[in-house]
Amino acid sequence: MKQPILFLLGVLLCGCAEAPQAFYPAPGAREVAPDTRLTIHFRSEPAVGAGGMIRIWDAETDTPVDSLDLSIPAGPAEPTKLPKPDYTPVPYDYDQPRHTNATIRPGTPSGAAGPTSDRYQLTIIGGFTDAFHFHPVIVHGTKAEIYPHHNLLTYGRTYYVTIDDGVLTTSENDFHGIDKSDGWRFSTRASAPVGRRLVVSADGTGDFHTVQGALDFIPDHSDEPWTVFVRNGDYEELVYSRNKSNVTIEGESREGVYIHYPNNEVFNPHPDDVATNEWPGTFPSRRAAFMADNCTDVTFRNLTIATTLTGQAEGLLLMGERYVLEHVTVRGSGDALQANGPVYLFDCLIEGHGDTILGRGPAFFDRCTLISRGPFMWIRNTEANHGNVFVDCTLRGVGDGAVIARTNGRYPHCEAVLLRCRLENIRPEGWHGLEHGTFDVHYWEYDSRNLADGTPVEVSQRAKGSRQLTAERDSLTIRNYSDPAWVLGWDPKR
């Protein structure tokens, strides 16, 4: 029987009436998912100490299977100040043996970069052995959530937890750690789920506790369809998946499923010796909250994805072929959504601080809403494919710096096309960077309207080199760009 998320302890743990009020998994719990978090609810807000160990032990062998050293900082807090390195000299190889924290040391190189330094916390996520920085403990209010290293707990085992004195403290000084005799032990499920519909639940009652756990379970390059159904809940986790095919990630409700993490280019930067960019074969980026890398035919539906840091910080980063987003909210900072490869978006909200959409495209936005403080996009497509196309969308600027798109002259074929869109608080010139040369740039609009009253947007001051399409002169162009299959080279509605 699946256990409830909390268990009132009294004096069972820590031996005092002032002990933490609840733990998850509950002491003695069974049927726990191996990707579980460890949660402690205190009477008052705890503080994370600067040292000490959290360990998870195999109860049968009395050996530690995971250790979190709180003396190691989570990750960088300031930008790395080094000369920009070159890009990888050879395309990144995604078809490598799949390793986890259980099979190889975190930070082991998987491409042209050198080993990742162990001066910060490291965990392998989704087979990316170069590893990610992460927070071993995150506190919100009176709840402390402990993040074990990924993929170390397994099915059919019993574990117990120990926490050194000083790892977590309270103003009442009523918590002094947990040792074996305190009895925080639990057992994982006997076996993995059966079938290709996986349920994720933050309260522990699903097949998996985390989105990452479900994605890790799905075999790479699957020809069979898989569904990851995410129940309403708060999922504070860093998600990275690669080589997944024919997968639908569907939330119970758009506002009820919140997948987020405090990640950006500072916290998880590109390697010191290899740069990353938007092109196929580049070294993978690690700075987004949710990354789908080298994936094909993946659908996101009815959920919210966000990073909670600012800077170069995507909520969602897509690299691959044939993505669909339906009724999805993406929140980030600079580069809130990075879209590389054909992406179709329907009824989505994308919110960011500038260059809110980044990538090489092509991307088709159908009845979506975009909110941005700076440029809505920095599109980097070449002549090989289309860029970003917006049909019946809403673009809302915040502050006085919002323009539709910008360029710097390095992308002579960049393309952003707006058809029948509603605009609010966008600078009169509309576009930036065309002074570097228009070349084959397509910065085009057709029938842009004011959001407030539906009247035509005043376009007399639009930047030189941009273009206003007309029904009389450009009917074929408008018809073509209204067709997602024509723009994307694939029909997402089939």
Amino acid in position 472: E
Domain layout of the chain by residue ranges: 197-488
202-242-346-447 Cα dihedral, nearest 10 degrees: 140
Identify the sign of the CA torsion 333, 382, 430, 487.
Answer: negative
Judge contact between 87 and 274, C-beta under 8 A.
yes
pLDDT number for residue 390: 98
Backbone φ, ψ for residue 369 (5° rounding): -120, 130
The predicted-structure confidence for 74-132, as pLDDT tens digits, reads as follows: 999 999 887 889 999 999 999 999 999 999 999 999 999 999 999 999 999 999 999 99
Judge contact between 161 and 60, C-beta under 8 A.
no
Q: Name the nearest CA neighbour of 27 among 135, 181, 172.
A: 181
Q: What is the DSSP letter of 297?
A: E
Residue 16: C-alpha distances to residues 7, 21, 179 (Å): 16, 11, 14
pLDDT number for residue 13: 53
The predicted-structure confidence for 426-479, as pLDDT tens digits, reads as follows: 999 999 999 887 789 999 999 999 999 999 999 999 999 999 999 999 999 999
Alpha-carbon span 384 to 199, nearest angstrom: 39
pLDDT number for residue 263: 98
**Strand partners of residue 41:** 22, 143
Q: Which CATH number fits domain 197-488: 3.40.1710.10, 2.160.20.10, 3.20.19.10, 3.30.390.10?
A: 2.160.20.10
SS3 488: helix
Alpha-carbon span 426 to 399, nearest angstrom: 9
Alpha-carbon span 234 to 247, nearest angstrom: 21
Residues in the chain where the model's pLDDT stays below 70: 1-19
pLDDT number for residue 19: 60
